[in-house]
Amino acid sequence: MIKQDAILNAKLLVVDDRAENVDLLAAILYQAGYTSVTSTTEPNDVFRLHEENRYDLILLDLNMPGMDGFEVMEKLKQIEEDSYLPVLAITAQPRFKIAALEAGARDFITKPYDLVEVRQRIHNILEVRLLYKEVAEYARIHKELALHDALTGLPNRRLLLDRLVTLLLHAKRTQHRIAVMYLDLDGFKAVNDAHGHDCGDKLLIMASERLRFATREEDTIARLGGDEFMVVIGDISELSDIDRPATTIIRELSQPYLIDGVEVTVTASIGVSFYPDDGVDVDVLIRRADQALYEAKHAGKNRYRTSRG
């Protein structure tokens, strides 16, 4: 249930071409306890104002010269991607009521105003609007959590695969290579065993931050689980182009970590595969990178190996 304070603090916009009508409705709103009321007599400004402020409710007069309320609602649909128009239509014409609802308005009030009805309709529509926003935000957060690693905030395997497919399609069009870097932290288990899981979790968080620092903004970094990560680098011209980013990642991850007053050290091993040289399928590229990672481990760790040796 939406709290009364949230309703009274909602952002409202009053739109009427006549200043006296704006003043009257604004006074009604302030008397009812609403704290954030904006107004305009220029219907052409509504789109810009709503884009900047994202009002919880727009009290919109339908009969205005130049641009009427129906035209304003049509324009607002350009920025309300979910087609939910937070509009309470105002009209003195009974024939406009159904038309306003069909155009997307949530409800309507009629002139001359019945104060009890106006206050109740505004309260009801705001309660629904804020509940709608709360549910939408919950859904957004839930989706975000489903696609990101809970500990580090990095994309998880599911989001990685989606992005990798998109990158492969782009690379096919542009005739560029992609590097898939599979890496893990040498010595992580020893740190976890010696200092506990809390220390291990903090190490993983710090390592993920170093990965962000060591890569470009356009690169994709993901945590696959445990101490395993993957970095996908696009727009590579030559296989040798991977040397610099791989060396940078190894250097950054191998610096000492100070965790709760204890200095710990791990290194990093990386296996690299390339599109299209090693395959054009996501699973094949990941498998080839995993094989190259095994070779890096077998060669002494703290290094990278490509699928080419």
pLDDT above 70 for 82? no
What CA–CA distance (Å, rounded) separates 128 from 82? 15
Is 227 a catalytic site residue?
yes
What CA–CA distance (Å, rounded) separates 285 from 279? 6
What percent of the chain is modeled with pLDDT above 70?
98
Average pLDDT, the chain: 91
202: left (phi over 0), alpha (psi -120 to 50) or beta: alpha
> What secondary structure letter does DSSP report for 55?
-
What CA–CA distance (Å, rounded) separates 162 from 157? 9
**pLDDT score recorded for residue 134:** 84
**pLDDT score recorded for residue 95:** 82
> Once rounded to an integer, what is the mean pLDDT over residues 146-155?
91
Q: Hey, what are 283's tokens?
A: 């699973």
**pLDDT score recorded for residue 59:** 96
> Once rounded to an integer, what is the mean pLDDT over residues 285-300?
95
> Once rounded to an integer, what is the mean pLDDT over residues 58-67?
91
Q: Which fold has domain 157-306?
A: Alpha-Beta Plaits (3.30.70)
* Range(s) within the chain of domains with CATH label 3.30.70.270: 157-306
* Bond into 94 cis (ω within 30): no
**pLDDT score recorded for residue 83:** 64
Least confident of 45-49, 138-142, 148-152, 245-249: 138-142
> Once rounded to an integer, what is the mean pLDDT over residues 68-81?
88
Q: Hey, what are 295's tokens?
A: 């070779």
- 174: amino acid identity, one letter: T
What is the three-class DSSP state of 234?
strand
Question: Around 303, how many Cα atoms within 13 Å sit in the side-chain half-sphere?
Answer: 12
- 287: amino acid identity, one letter: R
What CA–CA distance (Å, rounded) separates 213 from 302? 19
**pLDDT score recorded for residue 97:** 85
pLDDT above 90 for 145? no
pLDDT above 80 for 307? yes
Active-site residue, from 227, 235, 283, 290: 227
**pLDDT score recorded for residue 309:** 64
* Range(s) within the chain of domains with CATH label 3.40.50.2300: 4-144
> Once rounded to an integer, what is the mean pLDDT over residues 291-306?
95
Q: What are the tens digits of pLDDT across the range 160-216?
A: 998 999 899 888 888 889 999 999 999 999 999 999 999 999 999 999 999 999 999
**pLDDT score recorded for residue 54:** 92
pLDDT above 70 for 1? no
Q: 104, 134 in Cβ contact below 8 A?
A: no
Q: Hey, what are 6's tokens?
A: 């949230």
pLDDT above 90 for 121? yes
Q: What are the tens digits of pLDDT across the range 239-250?
A: 888 999 999 999
> Once rounded to an integer, what is the mean pLDDT over residues 215-234?
94
What is the three-class DSSP state of 290?
helix
What is the three-class DSSP state of 273?
strand
Q: 275, 180 in Cβ contact below 8 A?
A: yes
What CA–CA distance (Å, rounded) separates 270 from 301? 9
Predicted structure pTM score? 0.61
Q: How far is CA 110 from CA 28, 29, 56, 68, 279, in A?
A: 14, 16, 20, 16, 67
pLDDT above 70 for 112? yes
Which candidate, 297, 164, 150, places its Cα nearest to that of 221? 164
Question: Around 261, how many Cα atoms within 13 Å sit in the side-chain half-sphere?
Answer: 0
Least confident of 84-88, 184-188, 221-225, 263-267: 84-88
Q: Which CATH number fits domain 4-144: 3.40.50.2300, 3.40.720.10, 3.90.870.10, 3.40.50.10890?
A: 3.40.50.2300
- 275: amino acid identity, one letter: Y
pLDDT above 80 for 42? yes
Q: What are the tens digits of pLDDT across the range 248-281?
A: 999 999 999 999 999 999 999 999 999 999 999 9
